[in-house]
Structure 1
């Protein structure tokens, strides 16, 4: 207000001054002092009023008002998920005996880790090594099928069974929103390695889940504890706590368990998953957790994992010098195959590769090369200074890769067509070559092992002479009166029909991938008085099966033998997805089944499913079967039956 008043007084003084000037003109140039004094007074007052605000203004009026405070950003879902994916995208190999030199992507080598509900006592008594206990066969399911809001799961498994990989892969799947369905769509994974956060949990004032998770180094402050706590309060998270057993001190582990219980009570609408070895969990159990045991890999999973792992390792390890490394490792594999070795002493391995190293990499010593290949994961130290390939299939594959272009090595395959140890190497070579020399050698050898290899080459080889194909096609249709020749041909047919198998355990027990075909049973029936015919819906007597197995095992001279699976083995095969579980029943028997018919039975995937329950196609055929079987009776009773019933029968047919 004072500012505007001062301006008004100054304007008034200017008006008076203008009036004085006008009056002087109109009054013949005489100055009017009264108007001059008035103008002076207005000017002085205006100046004083203008100066007054500068002396009485408060300091706050001098400082411009601060700009409105910007709202602090507490977190971004997109940034959180981006950092989570970066943290779990690489394969963690902590706990593996052999540490690879190269980092692999989780998705490159991951194989589904399957779980099964068990009691803690059952899990603790299972070491996870060797064949599983008979009662261990059960329905296997993924972690995603068990996850639900408000549920706590304790996932227990032996060292190296895949617990940490399961936790990391679950987080990765949730980040990428795969497989978890609508129930978990939009949920946030919260992953903590308990070994890394034990100090925060065990402090005098333990931090809460949100505070500890938000402080994880890999997040680098991307979200605040408040932001994460809001999601936990809403039940929007799946909390993955890995490695309870890695808190070494038992008393500390007990406090960590209590902290987990407290967090579960604080955020009851979220799913919690805690992983541990059985021994570390047994004395420190979570009171409200459902226990799941990590299941052993099936043979198919082992094969898939080995293939993916070594393909990735080989790809990473060979960058820049693929041919040199290939050549050297193949020489070692060939050396071991020729001597039927699975492990080789370090000194012998060095001698085996010394010559090829001098030609391809003269600056590298054999000792240094073996150390390099060990770090890459291609070789394992099975015992002190004894090296071997992690899996026999890998050794066979590398040896087969060395055969093309070497006539002497191909000749060694030809000379060993009757040796089962060379079968897979020969087939791996044949897949990329003309297998005619091997097939011809098989026909000349005329042993069960050699001829079954010849037929396998027809299916696997890139090229085979058509004349040799024709000879093999005619062979099994040959009729002979020579008992030895008949036994040979039966053995070849049996070996060919039963060659596809699945591993049941680590002891070498395998189960046939397909049922006994009708053609093989017909060969058996031609040598016996059995009129039983196996097939859908058909039942066999114990004596039929016993005589068939005796005939089958008499065909081979290489030590192979066949038997019925035990009930636990049959259940394991069905639960491992080796067969269509919804329509498969397996004959199974205990050890003394041949002398006790009650010990033989049919095992189905569902214990409540009766093994003799008719299939849908059988039920659909019942009306026609009933009419066919009652045709004679109806004709006999035709004079006594009303015409409507006869008409109905004609329509049904």
Structure 2
């Protein structure tokens, strides 16, 4: 190697190293500028606030998620509204009058250049603490939040410590030392949002007033900052903070309930698995559907804490509403003592005594048939019970405590009631179980007032005495209660179950008994009614088989007991409703629901996988409705099999005989296929061809009537051996029709297929106009009658696939989908596939008819 070459190698190598080092230098992250001590402390402080409010606080709940839930994933803003403090209700389900309008987030009230001093009031579990924790996390992005739980700093407040001193001491517990008075300087710079949670959680009234005075002092001392205080109404009324703007937490709306439930299940889903999100959506929808079937539970969902408890019980203790007795027990225990114990709140007396008092009070209300009692009656009942208990508190003090817990509310002045009838019914059932007073329920089987209490009782006790009393009474109310007990899944003596089944069988032949059973079953079914936005009432669950069979015991209908009746024809569905209206058990005329009613958000979730008969106004026949997302499919291979089976030896022989000047080869094929013809079997295609041949000559008439596909398939298979000729014709036909391995669209609604079929006719070749016209007429008749015979199904399938073979690609889909839809209807007719048709009832009912508003 020359010296020059060697020098170039060295130079080149050196240049490459320099370039490599330069690239590495450029790829290194640019070092952050050196932070000041204040900046480092602020970063650590903000990180501490974020970590402290990262997860949903579930302390005090007995049923817990298997993992921590990210607050940002679950949180739904409760929204606030201006409200005078004395008008804010104290109960767990506190709502607002319809005249109170407006829903604003807390950020709306803080978004003001002037410092804001706000007090957020709400009942137990209304989301006050969660609101502050989420606000603290959000402020971390652009400001400085200060979040303190007053119950944790009572001793320091009473000692006279200032706000900065308390914050600094709190940070020190997490090894975050404020050596340079960063907190005090930050508060003096007027750049903080100070959030003080739980004024009501300061137990003693005197201490609470001291805390309020301390809050006022801090607002004065650091007046340039925003302050937000939270409390239950009574706690604030006992110790108000002057100069604050009072806001009330609004209950969840139905839309917020949906958002919360879906967010909850997304948060608890195992996101590692591919189907996690789909599974979460299914579980959320299942809970929402079950809530809509249980009105008492729906009413509880306006409270975020109760909705959280409902979601956890649904997920970890089994499906609701079957476990609602467990849910109500957990709600009562959480509201009365578990949350306080989890927060380590000091209280006077035994918290369990509150349950004793409330159970007895609930039973007293039930036996008196009332929803509320006067103050003197409540205090007298408490005093009677307290003489048996060891407690330093008197009746008046206990009344104040249970009001603060949110389960009891003062509806009117000196008139007290449970926040929801559900709590009264559950606690009365618990009292009856504890005191062994089942005879009270046995004597009340004819009184619908006691129905829910009875069902909550049998959820954890022997149902035999109740059902025995129902069978002895045999009124419609009692028989309905017996059926409800069975539906609860309780254990029942075999003889009693057999006797109840016998009553249902006898009803078919005993008009008087049938009327009672019919009323009992209809009353049970009608509890699923919801009122749509248009004012009509729709029953969200299909008519059960037990009810349907009372008026139509056709063997074609599938299902038993409370299972949906399935498989009736359109005519049978209309006749069932007509027979139902002839009875005297319901005050308004019932009808089949319309398609728009089934698509309503309050109805669709529970029937989305069903196929329901609908009847539009002024229509004489019913139409089959199916949710677009849940329509069944016919696999390509199955449709190909059915289409090939349509082409029988008799069909091919008939066509071969109509070809002019048959060759010896054709004559041999005719002879071979004739031996395979089943003379006893009626061939739909042969019938159609034979009928049409009466109108004109052979092969050309067949082409005009059915298109070219079949004739062309026969000609293309002529060179096949005799044993393979028929299968070759079939393969040729289905291939020309486009039945390859690709998926076929789900089956369609007949009315929609009629419209699409008409539109596709404009694109058909001139030679296909006549077969298209015949097919359109057949589908129109199918749509009008909502029924399809086996012969018509085969002819529609054959015609549709014949036209598909000659159609343009964009039109071919409608013909294939039509063939698949006719095939599915034929499978339903023969029972090859379970028939999905159900009946959904509706009524144009007056407002007096009880029904829930739409979700």
Given the two structures, how large is their TM-score scaled by the length of structure 2? Answer: 0.40
**Does the CA contact (< 8 Å) of 1:350 and 1:366 recur in 2?**
yes
2:601 to 553, 573, 587: 573
Give the superposition deviation at 1:502: 7.2
Q: In the alignment, which residue of structure 2 is the partner of 1:83?
A: 49
Match of 1:420 in 2: 448
Offset at residue 369 of structure 1 (A): 1.8
2:364 equivalent in structure 1: 335
Q: Which residue of 2 aligns with 1:350?
A: 379
User: Would you say the 8 A contact 2:426–2:456 is kept in 1?
Assistant: yes
Checking the alignment, whether the CA contact within 8 Å between 1:586 and 1:604 is kept in structure 2 is: yes
Partner of residue 633, structure 2:
616
Quote the offset at 1:342 in angstroms: 2.2
Equivalent residues of 2:507, 2:513 under 8 A apart: no
Q: How far 1:417 moved relative to its partner?
A: 1.1
Stretches of structure 1 lacking an aligned partner (at least 5 in a row): 1-68, 93-104, 116-126, 132-158, 176-186, 197-213, 228-238, 242-276, 279-292
Q: What is the alpha-carbon distance in structure 2 between the residues aligned to residue 573 and residue 112 of structure 1?
A: 23
2:433 aligns to what SS in structure 1? coil
Following the alignment from structure 2 to structure 1, what is the Cα–Cα distance between the partners of residues 532 and 399? 31
Q: Distance in 1 between matches of 2:550 and 2:457?
A: 32
Matching residue of 1:446: 474
Structure 1 match to 2:405: 376
1:451-473 CA-partner distances (Å, limit 9, x unpaired): 22213223436542222122223
Give the Å deviation of 1:364.
3.6
Cα distance change on mapping 1:418 and 1:357 into 2, 3 Å: same
Q: 1:540 to 1:353 in 2, by over 3 A?
A: farther
Structure 2 Cα separation of the partners of residues 403 and 549 of structure 1? 41
Q: What residue number does 2:726 align with?
A: 646
| 1:493-504 to 2 correspondences below 5 Å | 493-494=521-522, 498=525, 501=528
For residue 437 of structure 1, report the CA deviation from its aligned partner: 0.6
CA distance in 2, matches of 1:509, 1:192: 52
Question: Could you give the per-residue CA deviations for residues 114-155 of structure 1, whole angstroms, max 9, x where no partner exists?
Answer: 99xxxxxxxxxxx99779xxxxxxxxxxxxxxxxxxxxxxxx
SS at 2:358's partner residue? helix
Say if 2:548 is the partner of 1:521.
Answer: yes
Distance between the aligned counterparts of 1:391 and 1:431, measured in 2? Answer: 20
Structure 2 contact 409–418 (Cα < 8 Å) conserved = yes
Matched-pair contact (CA < 8 Å) for 1:501–1:512: yes
Structure-1 separation of matches of 2:611 and 2:76: 26
Q: Secondary structure at the match of 2:411?
A: strand
Give the drift of 1:374. Answer: 0.2
Residue deviations 1:162-205 (CA, integer Å, cap 9, x gap): 89788657679x89xxxxxxxxxxx97668899x9xxxxxxxxx
Structure 2 match to 1:74: 39
How many Å apart are 1:371 and its aligned residue? 1.2
- Contact kept in structure 2, 1:380 and 1:388, CA below 8 Å: yes
SS in 1 for 2:429: helix
Tell me how far apart the structure 2 counterparts of residues 467 and 395 of structure 1 sit (CA, whole Å).
33
Q: 1:35-74, aligned counterparts within 5 Å?
A: 72=37, 74=39
* Conserved 8 A contact 2:557-2:567: no
CA-CA distance at 1:400 after TM superposition: 0.4
Query: C-alpha separation between the residues in 2 aligned to 1:166 and 1:620?
Result: 55
Structure-1-length-normalised TM-score:
0.50
1:403 is displaced (CA, Å) by 0.8
Number of equivalenced pairs: 436
1:475 paired to 2:497: no
Unaligned runs of 5+ in 2: 1-33, 59-67, 79-94, 100-121, 149-163, 183-192, 196-245, 248-252, 259-287, 292-297, 310-330, 342-348, 658-713, 735-822, 824-855
- How far residue 630 of structure 1 moved from its aligned partner, in angstroms, is 5.6
How far the C-alpha of 1:71 sits from its partner, in A, is 5.7
Alignment of 1:50-199 (within 5 A): 72=37, 74-75=39-40, 80-86=46-52, 113=76
What's the offset of the Cα at 1:635?
Answer: 5.4
Q: Which has the larger radius of gyration?
A: 1
Stretch deviating more after TM superposition (313-322 or 530-539): 530-539
Distance in 2 separating the partners of 1:448 and 1:331: 30
SS in 2 for 1:429: helix
